Amino acid sequence: MSSTEPRRGRRLDFGGFLRMIASDRSPGPAAPAADDPAPEQTPKGSTLLDKSLDRRDAMKALLTGAAAFGAAATAQASIGKSDAEKERRQLEWEEYFKGNYRLMTEQERRETIARLERLAELKRGQRVSIAGTPAREGVLYGYAFNISRCRGYRDCIRACVLENNQDRASTMQYIRIFEIKNGHMSPENGNADYFHEVPQEGHFYLGTQCFQCENPPCVKVCPVGATWKEPDGITVIDYDWCIGCRYCEAACPYWARRFNWHEPKIPRNELNPKQHYLGNRPRKKGVMEKCTFCIQRSREGQLPACAEACPTGARIFGNLLDPNSEIRYVLENKKVFRLKEDLGTEPKFWYFMD
Amino acid sequence: MSLFAKNQQLRRVLYVLWIVIAAVGAWGLWQRAETGHRLANYGSYVPWGLWVAAYIFFIGLSAGAFLLSALVFGFGFNKLERLAPYALLTALATLFMALFSIFLDLGHPFRAVNVFLHPNFGSMMTWMVWLYTAYFILIIAESVLAFRPLLANQQEGLRGMIAKLIGSANGYTDEQRERDESRLKILGRLGIPLAISFHGGVGALFATVVARPYWHSALYPILFLTGALVSGGALMLAVALIFGDDMDPAGEAIQMLRKIVVGLLAFDLLLEWAEYSIPMWYNIGPEAALMKEVLFGHYWYVFWVFHFGLGAIIPLILFMRAPKSAPALITGGLLTALTYMAVRLNLVVPALIEPQLKGLENAYIRSRLVFEYFPSAMEWSVLAGITALGAALWYVGYRLVLNRERMA
């Protein structure tokens, strides 16, 4: 299977000049990015109205900026701020002008990631490591779900939430496990909201999540190219480029995408510090997110958290291009099916039975 | 003198109505600014709601009104000549309302600029935004040309400023008029395919989504276009009779517009018959169930009462039985135009109450995980705010450019 990822630089990118402007500017913060969390309280003694403000400095700052708003903000940051505060604002200012991740050069990617790691430290006081590991050559990920083995424990869901830094306030989850009565096949006859001992007599369990379609409608509809399919088949989102129109959510036939209706909340002690730029780094409100087959793990040669957590071995993950992989064995030796195959989306997520 | 200028009682009613709508709207817009999407009733299963429906409603009004003006400016359809400047102003105000509606619906409104910085031309939404932008530029250019003679020799106040800006403060010669008319002709002709493309494009934005069988119909873009012409035309009928100078309901312009609206309304009903009857005929398939839900489900009255009754049948009776009565034509026009919002809601929402994976409705039930939708108070209030702002914009344009007479 060949990747359909457009070549880098093929799209129009008028954002470059904005980034150039940003890099030329003084590190004045001006307004924080629209998507940033509420700025911290301005420390006393730092505003233009404050008596301790040096007039010459203030005038200088006001004159250097072209716009009054930008200039005032520059002055605000340049006086009386702690170094950390100044650094944070500078980094946030630079963040505002960054481009689409897919179109960044390697250097820009490294700088962006370093900036985000530093920002995480400055804002939350937590050290995180954000990887930008690219897709490996000769790898196309696929997933198979053994219906006869799943017992509905939902350990996969818990592992996924913890691994992927999902919002706890809205109990956002990428995975649904449907408890379905024997004699039926569709989740229509199932229930994913069960609270009883499992497995239940006369029922089987079927999990859904993003199927990482080879022909993904969600990618096609995005007006700004904020989501795309990587060469290893994983559909990702640049959270800092998404405009939050939710067209992809409407266009996905499998309800695989989630929208952040508010600022996501992750308990401090539960933040997973091992992150990927296109994966589990904490999202902001107003953007989409989705399962990435745990890109931060799979690209490092590990299983996705759901597959690792499954106690029954119902989840099979691997490289579809490797003839010796377990996933290839399943596809070649079991009777497999996919959901809504008639749509032509070519999900890379198969179901099978022993 | 216009009916609005002559009738003090009508003015009072409209002013009070505007104040009430603006007050409610101010609260809504404040809430939207303060709480974001938190107070909205759309959610993870029904990601688009009232504001998306309002967006296609307003943009339909804009396209409909614009196409009427384009008939005059582009093709010299002189029977509607008197209505053309009103239609242009209405197209401009409703375009603002539409863009503001969708702006507020975005998760990151200010990132919308990314559609220009880094467009994905494979997406219908990108085409829509780019075509809107072209339409916006064209409508501004047309307004400048069309309003120049109306503001000729204006030197003072805001009017003078606008006149200076559009280049007619120091008079308007016949030579200029001739030149502007030929430019308007070109722009009007360009505008027709543009308006058809962008509004058909809005229909295609929905129709191309294969995941939603309810939307996935080749008829959708045509329904959108017809709807735009019906609602925009009906609105112009009411606007012309209320705000037009000495507009005679029995006169050529109004009668022509009345006939156009009646014809389009009938055609729209025919298309709707096709849209509903074909998937429902054998009562099999995903669309059939959804259409049954629209017609006979929980919100049956949106279709039958607001659209079919108040929006189509009563106006048709009024237009046919009292063709020369101003109150009848105004009522019919307003009913058709305003209740078209019901059609727009029925175009957007029902497709989303169908779970992509059957069974999701039995999954976790949380406030954002329900396959039901009725707009929240905040959503309605924001719509009121957008309406009040658009009406104010229109009125300012009207008083500055189209009508400078003293009120009775």
Q: Which CATH superfamily is domain B3-402 in?
A: Formate dehydrogenase/DMSO reductase domain (1.20.1630.10)
Does any CB of chain A come closer than 8 Å to the CB of residue B126?
yes
Give the helix/strand (H/E) hosting A162.
helix A155-163
Question: Is residue B73's pLDDT more than 70?
Answer: yes
User: How much of chain A, in percent, has pLDDT values that exceed 70?
Assistant: 77
Question: Is residue A66's pLDDT more than 50?
Answer: no
- The answer to which of A184-188, A342-346, B297-301 has the lowest mean pLDDT is A184-188
| Chain A hits for B119, Cβ within 8 Å | 11-12, 223-225
Question: Is residue A209's pLDDT more than 90?
Answer: yes
Which domains, and CATH codes, for chain A? Answer: 16-40+53-127 (no CATH), 141-352 (3.30.70.20)
Q: How confident is the model at residue A63 (pLDDT cuts 50, 70, 90)?
A: very low
For A208, the 3-state DSSP assignment is strand
Mutation test of the interface with chain B: which of A209, A228, A261, choosing the one with the most B Cβ atoms within 10 A?
Answer: A261
Nearest residue of chain B to residue A15 (CA atoms): B117
User: How much of chain A, in percent, has pLDDT values that exceed 90?
Assistant: 68
Q: How confident is the model at residue A279 (pLDDT cuts 50, 70, 90)?
A: very high
Quote the pLDDT of residue A217.
Answer: 97
Q: How many angstroms away from the CA of A193 is the closest CA of chain B?
A: 5
Q: How many angstroms away from the CA of B98 is the closest CA of chain A?
A: 15
For B249, the 3-state DSSP assignment is coil
Question: Is residue A182's pLDDT more than 70?
Answer: yes
Does any CB of chain A come closer than 8 Å to the CB of residue B366?
yes
Cα B149 from Cα B79, distance rounded (Å): 20
Compute the 3-state secondary structure of chain B and give helix, strand, coil in percent, each to the nearest 5. 75, 0, 25
Decide if B118 and A11 are in contact by the 8 Å CB cutoff: yes
Q: How confident is the model at residue A197 (pLDDT cuts 50, 70, 90)?
A: very high
Which two tokens mark B144? Answer: 């400048």
Q: How many angstroms away from the CA of A217 is the closest CA of chain B?
A: 8
- Model pLDDT for residues B261-316, shown as the tens digit of each residue: 999 999 999 999 999 999 999 998 878 888 888 899 888 999 999 999 999 999 99
Q: How confident is the model at residue B76 (pLDDT cuts 50, 70, 90)?
A: confident
Give the helix/strand (H/E) hosting A289.
strand A288-290
Positive or negative, the CA dihedral B132, B134, B135, B139 is positive
Quote the pLDDT of residue A185.
Answer: 81
Contacts of range B178-182, beta carbons closer than 8 Å, 24 or more positions apart: B180/B145, B180/B148, B180/B149
Give the helix/strand (H/E) hosting A68.
helix A68-78
Quote the pLDDT of residue A22.
Answer: 43
Quote the pLDDT of residue B1.
Answer: 81
Does any CB of chain B come closer than 8 Å to the CB of residue A244?
yes
Quote the pLDDT of residue B92.
Answer: 96
Q: How confident is the model at residue A319 (pLDDT cuts 50, 70, 90)?
A: very high
Residue A165 vs residue A195, higher pLDDT: A165
Cα A140 from Cα A1, distance rounded (Å): 8
Decide if A187 and B43 are in contact by the 8 Å CB cutoff: no
Does any CB of chain A come closer than 8 Å to the CB of residue B142?
no
| Rama region for A264: left / alpha / beta (φ>0; ψ in -120 to 50; rest) | beta
Does any CB of chain A come closer than 8 Å to the CB of residue B285?
no
Decide if B368 and A170 are in contact by the 8 Å CB cutoff: yes
Question: Is residue A5's pLDDT more than 50?
Answer: no
Does any CB of chain A come closer than 8 Å to the CB of residue B130?
no
Does any CB of chain A come closer than 8 Å to the CB of residue B212?
yes
Q: How confident is the model at residue A19 (pLDDT cuts 50, 70, 90)?
A: very low
Quote the pLDDT of residue B55.
Answer: 95
Does any CB of chain B come closer than 8 Å to the CB of residue A250?
yes
Does any CB of chain B come closer than 8 Å to the CB of residue A305?
no
**Range 46-65 of B in CB contact (< 8 A) with A:** 47-48
Does any CB of chain A come closer than 8 Å to the CB of residue B216?
no
Question: Is residue A33's pLDDT more than 60?
Answer: no
Q: How many angstroms away from the CA of B354 is the closest CA of chain A?
A: 11
Cα A53 from Cα A130, distance rounded (Å): 39
Q: Which of A13, A14, A249 sits opposite B47 (nearest CB)?
A: A249
Q: Who contacts B386 (Cβ-Cβ below 8 Å, separation ≥6)? A: B25, B54, B58, B97, B100, B101, B104
Q: In degrees to the nearest 10, what's the CA dihedral of A315, A289, A239, B32?
A: -170
Decide if A255 and B45 are in contact by the 8 Å CB cutoff: yes
Quote the pLDDT of residue B155.
Answer: 83
Per the CB < 8 A criterion, the answer to whether B262 and B312 are in contact is no
Number of H helices, E strands in chain B: 15, 0
Q: How confident is the model at residue B369 (pLDDT cuts 50, 70, 90)?
A: low
Mutation test of the interface with chain A: which of B34, B128, B356, choosing the one with the most A Cβ atoms within 10 A?
Answer: B356
CB pairs under 8 A between A and B: 169
Quote the pLDDT of residue A34.
Answer: 35
Does any CB of chain B come closer than 8 Å to the CB of residue A21?
no
Question: Is residue A37's pLDDT more than 60?
Answer: no
Decide if A176 and B47 are in contact by the 8 Å CB cutoff: no
Cα A161 from Cα A102, distance rounded (Å): 26
- The answer to which of A26-30, B3-7, B110-114, B154-158 has the lowest mean pLDDT is A26-30
Does any CB of chain A come closer than 8 Å to the CB of residue B116?
yes
Does any CB of chain B come closer than 8 Å to the CB of residue A222?
yes
For A94, the 3-state DSSP assignment is helix
Quote the pLDDT of residue A189.
Answer: 72
| Chain A hits for B117, Cβ within 8 Å | 13-15, 18, 224
- The answer to which of A45-59, A180-194, A239-253, B361-375 has the lowest mean pLDDT is A45-59
Residue A1 vs residue A92, higher pLDDT: A92
Q: How many CB atoms lie within 10 A of CB A84?
A: 11
Quote the pLDDT of residue B368.
Answer: 64
- Model pLDDT for residues B45-63, shown as the tens digit of each residue: 888 999 999 999 999 999 9
Does any CB of chain A come closer than 8 Å to the CB of residue B36?
yes
| Chain B hits for A180, Cβ within 8 Å | 359
Average pLDDT of span B237-243? 95
Nearest Cα to Cα of residue A314 among A346, A348, A354, A341: A354
Does any CB of chain A come closer than 8 Å to the CB of residue B45?
yes
Residue with tokens 């985000």: A116
Per the CB < 8 A criterion, the answer to whether B178 and B172 are in contact is no
- Model pLDDT for residues B125-178, shown as the tens digit of each residue: 999 999 999 999 999 999 999 999 988 888 888 888 999 999 888 888 899 999
Nearest residue of chain A to residue B115 (CA atoms): A224
